[in-house]
Amino acid sequence: MNEILAEIANCVEFGKINKVSPFPPNMKGMDGADELTQQALAAGVTPEDLLMKGLMIGMEKVGIKFRENKIFVPQVLMSAKAMSAAMNHLKPFFSDGSAKRKGVFIIGTVEGDLHDIGKNLVSMMVEGNGYEVIDLGTDVKAEHFIAEASKHPGSVIGLSALLTTTMPNMEKIVKAIKAQDPSKKVCIGGAPVNQEFCDKIGADSYNPDPQGVVEFLNKLAS
């Protein structure tokens, strides 16, 4: 059982989606995350073990390598695809409640901003680390974040902004969320924002990369 979980972690780390996927070249012709996850479930490995001891181990390594500039966006996207292939087999267990995730993370790019590449990387990395992710997309208004958060008590909100002109909207959204529920945790990120801005607008956490937000969520969940 440990062997197949290690193989699945490897597939996520190196972006091996399925047997026919030519990437990475040194794993050509080998089973990928898709086939191995099905085999593991058939052999009786639980969805939780698959997520926590397989997929998440691989995704954590991806997050660290990305933070250290050892891999780049294309490799992260391949890893995310490998993870999604595996998650397709696990989702039914999580959505019917027979298996549990670590928490709910609601993410969106703030009102007025259409950039979503960084947000999508954060979503994938957080999902790969065991959280349910509700992605509200781009150009998201405060009311939408608040309405979604009220459906998921204990959820954490993530805001992304790539334009200096949408930073004031980020501030407006954080303030609206906090006015409605001061205990709601809000994380922010995106190229123009920093720790100083985070402190100024009253958000709970700023991280320059997806791994940072995973670590913040893990701390809250522990």
Minimum separation from the CB atom of position 77 to ligand B12 (A): 10
Task: Name the segment binding ligand B12 (CB under 6 A); options: 27-35, 40-48, 77-85, 181-189.
Answer: 181-189
Q: What residues between 155 and 174 interact with ligand B12 by CB under 6 A? A: 158-160, 162-165
Query: 70 — phi, psi (to 5°)?
Result: -90, -20
Task: Name the segment binding ligand B12 (CB under 6 A); options: 10-18, 28-36, 44-52, 117-125.
Answer: 117-125
Candidate residues 119, 127, 201, 214; the one interacting with ligand B12 per rule CB under 6 A? 119
Nearest one of 23, 91, 95, 217 to 12, comparing CA atoms: 23
Which residue reads 């780390």 in tokens? 13
Q: Which amino acid is residue 215, in one-letter code?
A: E
Map residue 15 onto helix, strand or coil: coil
Query: 157 — phi, psi (to 5°)?
Result: -105, 140
3-state helix, strand, coil in the chain (%, to 5): 60, 10, 30
Minimum separation from the CB atom of position 208 to ligand B12 (A): 6
- DSSP letter at 152 equals S
The reply to whether 190 sits near ligand B12 by the rule CB under 6 A is yes
Q: Please, how many CA atoms are within 13 Å of residue 197, restricted to the half-sphere of its CB?
A: 23
The reply to whether 195 sits near ligand B12 by the rule CB under 6 A is no
Cα-based angle 31, 8, 221 (whole degrees, multiple of 5): 155
Candidate residues 17, 50, 121, 198; the one interacting with ligand B12 per rule CB under 6 A? 121
Minimum separation from the CB atom of position 71 to ligand B12 (A): 11
The reply to whether 192 sits near ligand B12 by the rule CB under 6 A is yes
Whether 166 and 142 have beta carbons less than 8 Å apart is answered as no
Site string for ligand B12, 60-99 (x = CB under 6 A): -------------x--------------------------
In the complex with ligand B12, the residue whose CB is nearer, 192 or 202, is: 192
- How many binding residues for ligand B12 (CB under 6 A)? 29
Map residue 159 onto helix, strand or coil: strand
Q: Which residues bind ligand B12 (CB under 6 A)?
A: 73, 112-119, 121-122, 158-160, 162-165, 187-192, 207, 209-210, 212-213
